[in-house]
Amino acid sequence: MNPLVIESSAETPEVILDKKTNTFIFKGKSLPENPISFYAPILDWLENYSNDPNSSTEVDFKMIYFNTSSSKILLDVMKKFEIIKKSGHEVFINWRYREDDEEMLEAGEIYSERVCIPFNLITDETEY
C-alpha cells in the first residue's frame, strides 16, 4: 500500500499516512475551501487501510486550528480509525496541543467522547 503524503499549505494540514513505517500524522491548520474534496483521498486511503491494517496504529493529531466544516471531516477520519479498532486491532490517538491552547484541548476532549478509541491528550510545545 502506497503512502499518502500531503504537504501543508496556508489552509490545509500536512498529512502523512504510511502503513509501512506506521506513521499517521495530521498537523497544522485545516481551512480548505472545500473540505470534502481535500479529505476525500484521505478517507479513501483509510478505507483501503482498514481492509488490512497494522496490528497497532498510533495516530498523531497536531492541529493548530480548524474551521467548523473541517471539524466534521476530522470526526469522519477518526471514525475510520474507530472501525479498525472495532475489528480487533489496537488504535491509539495522540491529540497534541500547546499548553496555552485551551480550544485545542477542548476539541480533543470532545473528540475523545465521540469515538471509542484510547485518546491521549498531550501537551506538546514542539513546532507545529
Number of structural domains (the chain) is: 1
Q: Is residue 30 part of a domain?
A: yes
Q: Is residue 48 part of a domain?
A: yes
The pTM of the full predicted model, rounded to 2 decimals, is 0.94
Q: Is residue 53 part of a domain?
A: yes
Residue-level length of the chain: 128
The pLDDT confidence band at residue 127, using thresholds 50, 70 and 90, is low
**Residues 55-95 pLDDT 10s:** 999 999 999 999 999 999 999 999 999 999 999 999 999 99
Distance, CA of 10 to CA of 100 (rounded, Å): 22
- For position 25, what pLDDT does the model report? 98
Distance, CA of 87 to CA of 69 (rounded, Å): 28
The dihedral of CA 108, 104, 6, 35: what is its sign? positive
The pLDDT confidence band at residue 128, using thresholds 50, 70 and 90, is low
**Residues 8-59 pLDDT 10s:** 999 999 999 999 999 999 999 999 999 999 999 999 999 999 999 999 999 9
Q: Is residue 128 part of a domain?
A: no
Domain that holds residue 54: 4-123
The pLDDT confidence band at residue 124, using thresholds 50, 70 and 90, is confident
* Phi-psi map region of 53: left, alpha, beta (phi>0 left; psi -120 to 50 alpha): beta
- For position 23, what pLDDT does the model report? 97
Average pLDDT over residues 110-115: 97
Query: Does the structure show a pLDDT above 90 at 126?
Result: no
**DSSP collapsed to 3 states, the chain:** CCCEEECCCCCCCEEEEECCCCEEEEEEEECCCCHHHHHHHHHHHHHHHHCCCCCEEEEEEEEEEECHHHHHHHHHHHHHHHHHHHCCCEEEEEEEECCCCHHHHHHHHHHHHHCCCCEEEEECCCCC
CATH number of the CATH domain containing 37: 3.30.750
Q: Is residue 64 part of a domain?
A: yes
